[in-house]
Amino acid sequence: MFSVEGFMRVNTFLQGAYRLAYLNILWLATTVLGLVVFGIGPASYAVAAYVDRWFRFGETPPVTRTFIAHFREQYWRAAVVGWILVLAAAIAVTNVFTLTVWAVQFANVLALLVVAVAAAYVFPVMAATDLRGVGRPLAAALMIGFGSLPWTITAMAAVAAAVWLAASFALPLLVLFGYGIPAAAIGFVTRTVFTQLVGEAALTSPLGPRDDARPVPHPARGKR
């Protein structure tokens, strides 16, 4: 027999699965409606912003309304980041399959891995920090991705295993959760990394928090 706590845990798990599936559906719909080029960046940012607030602070506001708000929040900046990542990936993949020099092919494979790490972390960085522009979030994403390489490798391995299992034994689940799988994996990593960074910043600060200190704006909160 299940205890009350057991039922609560199952309910929490199912609610989380529902949110991930729904976020994936919203991501897919807005990406397609944006003809991929105009949708993939803002849609990925919206998912990252929701997952960041959910995993780090336990906030679970209405999914649709919050997703749309985040989608609009930094639309053009997220779109430009998406363009850069898609273009870089397209160039690397084209070079891998068209060039015949193995050294150049290997270099493009490494470049593709760098693009993958940047794509994994840049939208969570944009959602959780106040870094401006396009270059700074991309640079910070690479620093976090390679600076936390064991976490990055673990997350990529978990995503690969989940995708393989779903594709092999439950293909509808892969369609249902899709982008939610890597979003959740990176969300667990960034929850740990960002929490550590906040803790280290508090410990190394020469001055403690002041009563008259102004709060730092958090872009992921959006407008209430």
pLDDT at 222: 43
pLDDT at 145: 96
Task: Report which of residues 216 and 79 the model is more confident about.
Answer: 79
Residue type, 91: I
pLDDT at 2: 60
pLDDT at 80: 98
CA distances from 38 to 41, 56, 72, 116 (A): 7, 28, 12, 19
Query: 49 with 70: CB under 8 angstroms?
Result: yes
Confidence of residue 197 (pLDDT cuts 50, 70, 90): confident
pLDDT at 86: 97
The backbone torsions φ and ψ at residue 151, rounded to the nearest 5 degrees and listed phi first, read -65, -40
Share of the chain above pLDDT 90, in %: 81
pLDDT at 215: 39
Compute the mean pLDDT over every residue in the chain, rounded to the nearest whole number: 90
CB atoms within 10 A of CB 115: 21
CB atoms within 10 A of CB 122: 29
The pLDDT tens digits of the residues spanning 140-149 come to 999 999 999 9
CA distances from 26 to 68, 71, 125, 159 (A): 9, 10, 21, 20
* Residue 73 φ/ψ region, left for φ over 0, alpha for ψ in the -120 to 50 degree band, beta for the rest: alpha
Average pLDDT over residues 117-145: 96
The pLDDT tens digits of the residues spanning 40-61 come to 999 999 999 999 999 999 999 9
- Tokens, residue 216: 């730092």
Q: Is the pLDDT of residue 81 over 80?
A: yes
Q: For the whole model, what pTM was predicted?
A: 0.88
Residue type, 17: A
